[in-house]
């Protein structure tokens, strides 16, 4: 599992959705304002989240996004993987250094990736909504936040 600012922004945005969906569908514009993430970037993230079935769009007045299932049935890993799958495949195909170096450390990084995914699989969005300290712990595992208007 790859952890990048893309996954972090997706998780932050989905958590905003969780925290505000009791009032109805949440607009990307509202999330953008509250979280300081550009609207166009959120549109990209939510297109991927929608494609994987984690969120659904609601059209018309009062439209926006909402989760497709309850927050206690969606893991943090599911959100991160929804936006990282393509980047992960590219990273695996990319070879830095010699073939020998890649083979010597490949198992280590592969095992670490599995450990990260297992950890994040055990945390649901509902868990995060109930435990603000856990949000900080998961947030600190991601990349440091670049300028909020220019996500990478």
Whichever domain contains 85, its CATH number is 1.10.10.10
Whether 30 is in a domain gets the answer yes
Whether 114 is in a domain gets the answer yes
Whether 148 is in a domain gets the answer no
Q: How many domains does the chain have?
A: 1
Which of the pair, 63 or 152, is modelled with greater confidence? 63
Q: Is the pLDDT of residue 98 over 60?
A: no
State residue 143's pLDDT score.
Answer: 37
Q: Is the pLDDT of residue 142 over 90?
A: no
Q: Is the pLDDT of residue 7 over 90?
A: yes
Write out the H or E segment, with its range, that includes residue 151: none
Whether 78 is in a domain gets the answer yes
Write out the H or E segment, with its range, that includes residue 56: strand 55-58
pTM of the model: 0.75
Whether 22 is in a domain gets the answer yes
Whether 136 is in a domain gets the answer yes
Domain region containing 118: 5-141
Report d(CA 112, CA 107) in Å as an integer.
8
Whether 27 is in a domain gets the answer yes
Residue 106: count other Cβ atoms within 10 Å of its Cβ: 11
Whether 85 is in a domain gets the answer yes
Q: How confident is the model at residue 138 (pLDDT cuts 50, 70, 90)?
A: very low
User: At residue 108, what are phi and psi to the nearest 5 degrees?
Assistant: -60, -50
Q: Is the pLDDT of residue 32 over 90?
A: yes
Contact 49, 82 (CB under 8 A): yes
The label of the residue with tokens 């297992």 reads: 118
- Best CA proximity match to 85, nearest among 4, 27, 19: 4
**Helix, strand, coil abundance in the chain, percent, nearest 5:** 65, 5, 25
Q: What 3-state DSSP class applies to 26?
A: strand
Q: Is the pLDDT of residue 122 over 70?
A: yes
Percentage of the chain lying above the pLDDT 70 cut: 74
DSSP 61-123: TT-EEEESS-GGG-BHHHHHHHHHHHHHHHHHH---S-HHHHHHHHHHHHHHHHHHHHHHHT-
């Amino acid at each position: 599992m790859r952890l990048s600012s893309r996954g972090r922004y997706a998780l932050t945005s989905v958590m905003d959705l969780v925290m505000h969906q009791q009032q109805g569908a949440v607009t990307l514009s509202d999330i953008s304002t509250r979280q300081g993430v550009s609207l166009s970037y959120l549109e990209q993230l939510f297109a991927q989240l929608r494609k994987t079935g984690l969120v659904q769009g609601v059209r018309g007045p009062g439209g926006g996004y909402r989760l497709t299932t309850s927050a206690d049935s969606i893991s943090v890993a599911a959100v991160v993987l929804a936006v990282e799958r393509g980047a992960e495949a590219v990273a695996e195909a990319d070879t830095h250094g010699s073939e020998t170096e890649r083979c010597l450390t490949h198992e280590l990084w592969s095992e670490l990736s599995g450990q990260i995914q297992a950890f994040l699989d055990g945390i649901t969005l509902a868990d995060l909504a109930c435990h603000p300290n856990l949000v900080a712990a998961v947030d600190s595992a991601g990349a440091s936040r670049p300028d909020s208007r220019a996500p990478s």
